[in-house]
Structure 1
Amino acid sequence: MEEERQITRVEQDPKRRSYYRIYLDEQEEPELLLHEDILVKYRLLKGSLIEPKAMEAIAAENGRYRAYASAVYYAGFKMRTSKEMTAYLKRKEYEEADIRYAIERLQQERVVDDGDYARMFATQRMRSNQKGRRLIRQELEQRGIAKETAGQTVEALSEKDEREAALKAAEKKWRSLKGEDRQRRMKLTGFLLRRGFQGDLVRDTVRQVSESRDDELEEGAWLDN
C-alpha cells in the first residue's frame, strides 16, 4: 500500500481567485491547482492526509470541473454553439475528455443548446440585420450548427418578417444608389440577393421600392404645377 501524503500548504492562486494551490510533503512547488468547489467537496485542508489513488481521482475530477467552470464563464457573455464552446476550451488547452464532459454537461443543463441558439440567431439576423434565409443558413452552418438544424430553423422563419426585412433593407439601400432607375434596380437586385433573399422576393421588393419612388416623383410633379 502506497504511503499517504500530507497537505502542508494551501494557497489561493493570485491570478485566478477561484483556484487554490495544494502543496504536499513540504514541497516548494504545488502538486495540484484545484477549483475551490473541489477543494471544499473533498475537505482538503492543511494537515490532511491523502492517498495517492485518491489524489489521482481528485486531479481527474478537477480537470473536468475546471473545463466546465471555464465553459460556464464563457457562456455568461452570450449564447454559444457547441462548436464555439469546444473551440474556446481547446484554446484554453483543456484535455479532450474534459472538454467532452463540459460540453455534454452544459447540453444537459441547456446552457448550450444549438437549437435555441439557431432560432434566436436567425430571428435577430432577419429582423435587426435585414438578412434573408439563404445567408442566415450559411451563417448558422459556419457557427457549427448542423445542416439539418439550420435548414429547419430558416424554414420556420416568418415569411412576413422576411418580406418586411427585405423591404426595409431595400428602401435604405435605394436612397444611396446612383444612376438611372434601371441601373439602380439592377444594383438593388444584386444587393438583396447578396443578403440572402430569394429571387421571387427580391423581384417583388425591387418592383415595390422602384414603383413607390415613381409614385413620389409623379406626386411631386403634380404639386409643382
Structure 2
Amino acid sequence: MSLTLQTQHPQASIAGIDEAGRGCLAGPVVAGACILPETYDLPGLTDSKKLTAARRETLYPLIREQAVAWAVGVSWPGEIDRVNILQATFLAMGRAVRALKVSPCFLRIDGDKTIPVHALGLSVPQEWVVGGDGTVPAISAASVLAKTFRDRLMIKLGQRYPGYGLEKHMGYGTQVHLEAIIRLGPCPMHRLTFRGVRPEPAPQRQASLI
C-alpha cells in the first residue's frame, strides 16, 4: 500500500526515510519517504515523537505541499508475522521509496541500518543516520508523514475493531490494550507473533525431589 504526491522535479534529490509503529502490538508499520526542496517553511520540524499530535497535524499538510515528493509505504500485520518486524519495516520503506514520483539520487535512513536491496527494489546509494529524525530535516519530515498517516489509520481501525482502544494508544502495548487482548482475544489487526498477543506457555513446575 502506498500514497504519493509530487510538486517539483529537481535533477538531484536526497530522500529522508523513517518509520512509525514498529514497536506496536497492533496495526501496520508505516514508512515515510520525503524529498525536501532547498528552501522550505516548516516551523518546528523535528522528530515526530517530540511533537504533539496537534503540531504533527499542522505540519502534515505543509510537508505535502512543499515537498519535492513524498510517499508512505505500509506493511500489514499478516506480513509482519510472516517475515518479522524488521523485514516488514524494510519492505514498507522500499514501497515508500519506489512510490516517490521523483527518483531519489540518495537515501538517508533513520536508525542504524540501510534498506536491503531485496526490499528496496532499486539501486540507490544510501546511508543510515542514528538520531536522523531529529537532525536531518528530510528524515524529520518523513517521520511526521509516517506517524500522522498511521495515527489517522489507527483511529479508523479503532472504529472498525471496537473495544481495544486502538484509536487512543495507536496499537502500543499499554495496560488497557493488554487487558483488552486478554478479554476479547486478538483481532485481525493484531500481530500474532508479538509478546502480549501470542499465547504464552504455562510455566512448568519442577518435579519434587522428595
Shorter-chain-normalised TM-score: which range?
A: under 0.3
Greater strand share, 1 or 2? Answer: 2
Say which structure is richer in helix: 1
TM-score normalised to the size of structure 2? Answer: 0.24
For the pair shown, the structure with the greater C-alpha radius of gyration is 1
Structure 1 length as normaliser, TM-score?
A: 0.23
